[in-house]
Chains A and B, each alone.
Chain A
């Protein structure tokens, strides 16, 4: 069970479903949180993360259509491991995400986004909005 990230400011509050993950490539790792985005077909990260991880980038320019308009992107691969433990307190598996899109600049999207393919094929995700939690169940 993973709690939403909770915020409070000036008498207001909100909560966001962000999953803590460890991204890695070669000997480089980065701990971050990605927005669980059931509306996105694939995942997106900003270019500073790709640079930090020294990802091998396919430099062909692509356009990713989205609700906010078209985004210029490039593609790469990255290993991803949810920063969670299973019920036997074992860390989640690291898996190769064979296709991740890298936005053209760091501010193209408000957060790194975890889209459906392939993550939602690896995990069943139960969102309990009212409780402010989500549950990941690793598929065998």
Chain B
């Protein structure tokens, strides 16, 4: 069995992600490069930014506040 560890993608800081609760964020190089409620628009905007580097952003949804511990 091979133990696996994370690839290159770094997460933005917890504080940075916390500004976007409930939103889709596109992340590249550890930074949020696009965000919003419409994932298709977020991905489109982010892909425009990463295209010159021939790279693909990671897009994921930040949990909504109601799904988190207080």
Q: Footprint of B on A, CB under 8 Å?
A: 1-3, 5-10, 12-14, 16, 18, 20, 29-33, 46, 48-49, 51-52, 82-88, 91-92, 106, 110-112, 123-124, 135-140
Contact = CB atoms under 8 A, between A and B. Distances in A.
Contacts, number: 116
B9 interface: yes
Interface of B: 1-7, 9, 11, 13-15, 17-19, 21, 39-40, 43, 56-65, 67-70
B3 A135 contact: yes
Contact of B3 (A9, A112, A137): A137
A124 B68 CA distance: 26
Helix, strand, loop or mixed for chain B's interface? mixed
B2 A87 contact: yes
Given A31-B57, A48-B40, A112-B60, 13 more contacts: A2-B6, A3-B6, A5-B11, A8-B13, A12-B69, A14-B69, A31-B56, A51-B40, A83-B7, A87-B2, A110-B61, A135-B4, A136-B4
